Amino acid sequence: MGVVMQIVKPGIYDIPESVYHSDPVIEPSLSNSIARIILDQSPKHARFAHVRLNPNQQPKEITAAMDKGSAIHQLILGKGAPIQEIKFSDYKKAAAKEERNACRDAGVIPLLSKDFDIAHACSTAVLSEMREREECKEFFAPGKSEQVMVWRDRDIWCRAMVDRMPDDPRSPLFDLKGTMMSANPTEWDRRMVRAYRTQDRFYADGARRLRGNDPAPMRFIVFEMVEPFAVSVMTPGRTLQHIAQDDVQRAVDIWGRCMKSGVWPGYPHMATIEAPNWLIRETEEREMRDEMIEEFV
């Protein structure tokens, strides 16, 4: 994927999602997703996943479910790629595949008729519920959707795309997450901790540097893409923010060192694996059974 523009100074930009994902910053920049790879895997994996540092990587396959999620995202935000109904029940026929591929080549989201109807029903239901919830009121305040923040942290560049950015710099930033499963917070707490905890602090750092204020903790709007299209709103608490802030700083530090040195290590240390408690208990129980058997044999 080629870079079609170049950003040479920090700021908030209104650019298409495809351009954002090409990383149009003057130097390869750190995003939250790359930071997560650094923290969860290694710098070597992060370099492999970065579009600018590994331009030969294979594009990810787009599925019909991904198209539906992108369409609902666009309908809720009122911004994004246009949507085109593909008037077939599936993509088994050559004509359906050709129409789908032509849409994608043109930067249009293709939706089978059944998904087209679901996307509109889902977005209508989600927006209706959000309007009734106090914690979503800033989403509907004056602001802009899909805004790209580009900032410098010491000698490295960072970037982030915000789903909804209210004009008031003290308001929370909003992120939409669709799911085909449950949006119940009790089932999302582990996912929020493992996969998304750095997003709030990473984005807050960019907002503070560019807008001069600390935004309120990010609001994650998680919605079910199947009926009844239920919605949950989650935000990180103080303890999670504290740990996430340390994680973000660690990722920034590692990225900066790797960019400067050109060295991207994998898993550098030998790991010593101790027997877990369940294995110790299992072994002790087996030894006890063996001793009992010996007494009777």
Please write the tens of the pLDDT for every residue from 227-243: 999 999 999 999 999 99
The pLDDT > 90 percentage for the chain reads: 80
pLDDT band at 4 (very low <50, low <70, confident <90, very high): low
pLDDT of residue 297: 65
How far is 97 from 6, CA to CA, in rounded Å? 34
Question: Mean per-residue pLDDT for 50-58?
Answer: 89
Question: Mean per-residue pLDDT for 94-108?
Answer: 92
Q: Domain ranges in the chain?
A: 62-120
Question: Mean per-residue pLDDT for 65-91?
Answer: 93
* Phi and psi, residue 98, nearest 5°: -65, -45
Beta carbons of 110 and 84 less than 8 angstroms apart: yes
At a CB cut-off of 8 Å and minimum separation 6, what does 181 contact? 187, 224
* Phi and psi, residue 233, nearest 5°: -120, 125
Beta carbons of 258 and 47 less than 8 angstroms apart: yes
How far is 206 from 11, CA to CA, in rounded Å? 9
Condensed to tens digits (0 to 9), the pLDDT of residues 147-200 reads 999 999 999 999 999 999 999 999 999 999 999 999 999 888 888 888 788 999
Mean pLDDT score across all residues of the chain: 93
Q: What is the separation of C-alpha 92 from the centre of its chain, rounded to a whole number of angstroms?
A: 31
pLDDT of residue 3: 45
Beta carbons of 205 and 32 less than 8 angstroms apart: no
Which two structure tokens, joined as six digits, stand for 158? 């960072």
